[in-house]
Amino acid sequence: MTRPRQIVAFGGGGFSMEAGNPLLDDYVLGLAAAAGRDRPKVCFLPTASGDADHYVVRFYRHFPAGRCEPSHISLFRRDCGTDDIRSHLLDQDLIYVGGGSVICLMGVLRAHGLDVALREAWEAGVVLCGLSAGSLCWFAEAMTGYHGNSRPVQGIGLIPRSNAVHYDKEPHRRPAYHAAVAGGMPGGFAAEDGAALHFVGEELARVVSSRPESRAFRVDRVDDEVVETQLVTHYLGAETAEPALAA
């Protein structure tokens, strides 16, 4: 059976940003489990943080061996060949890309050929997810998180659209994103902290959130004007009380 290609792109959230709120992480673990094993294999890529030790430790704390089969790949302390990394990634149910600098992330991923390996994993049905830089990297273009100086950067391009993250937190991001889309960047999706965009194939299937108030938007250029449309968001905390939603 072929597994669908899936990406869950968090505007912010998960174990790195929402201590005590596991809703987004539980959601991606659920997708990974649904795709195969009871104890899904989850590989963390802390590249965008420079492989910060404390980040790796926090990952293992939140993805304990009881719930999944956790691993991580450090591209700063690599001890195995490219083929081994590629086959390890292809053997996963979920690849979780941490936050940090998207420019650094893309530079290092490309230097190690992981942009190609991650595309292969996606095509093979490994669920890809991440927050912040770990969201931006999946899109064709993305807005960097530069303080007061958000600018476009090229991602891996699995989703042929653009992306902006932390859309609520930093007020300069909205005008910068709108200006970039007005200037010719492909339209795309903006997500606030706590909101996550779930893509099946290249299409947005669902927006989920770990907080009732988190929002996500579609941002498009229509007749030389940038139009922002709020997307319907499903709050995961209330999901048990709701009927199942059609995708």
Partner 1 sequence: MGGGGFTMEPENPALDDYVRTLAPAREPRICLLPTAGGDSEDQIRRFHTAFSDKLCEPTHISLFRLGTHPVPLREHLLAQDIIYVGGGSMINLLALWRAHGLDEILREAWQSGIVLAGLSAGSMCWFEWGVTKSVGAPVPARGLGFLPGSNSVHYDGEPERRPVYLSSVASGAIPPGWAVDDSAGLLFRGARLAEVVASRPGARAYRVRAVDGETVEEVIEPRLLKAPAHADPTAPLAVEELRALHAARRGRRLD
**Which residue ranges make up the site for partner 1 (CB under 8 A)?**
48-53, 75-82, 84, 100-101, 103-104, 106-108, 110-112, 144-149
Rounded to whole angstroms, what are the CA distances from 222 to 156, 218, 219, 229?
25, 12, 10, 12
Catalytic residue list contains 166: yes
172 CB contacts (<8 Å, ≥6 apart)? 148, 150
The CB-of-72 to partner 1 minimum distance in angstroms stands at: 13
CA end-to-end distance (rounded Å), the chain: 20
Structure tokens at 152: 């476009």
Nearest to 157 by CA among 188, 197, 183, 180: 188
Of the residues 16, 49, 101, 132, only one is catalytic, namely 132
Which residue among 16, 49, 72, 166 is the active-site one? 166
Which residue number, 27 or 177, has a Cβ lying nearer to partner 1?
A: 177
Q: Is 234 a catalytic residue?
A: no
Shortest separation between residue 174's beta carbon and partner 1, angstroms: 17
Nearest approach in angstroms of CB 48 to partner 1 is: 8
Tokens of 232: 């319907």
Count Cβ atoms within 10 A of the Cβ of residue 65 and give its class: 0-12 exposed, 13-18 middle, 19 or more buried: exposed
Q: CB-based burial of residue 106 (10 Å sphere; 0-12 exposed, 13-18 middle, 19+ buried)?
A: buried
CA-CA distance, 34 to 196, in Å (whole number)?
18
Q: How far is the CB of 101 from partner 1 (least distance, A)?
A: 5
Min dist. Cβ of residue 39 to partner 1 (A):
28
Catalytic residue numbers read: 132, 166
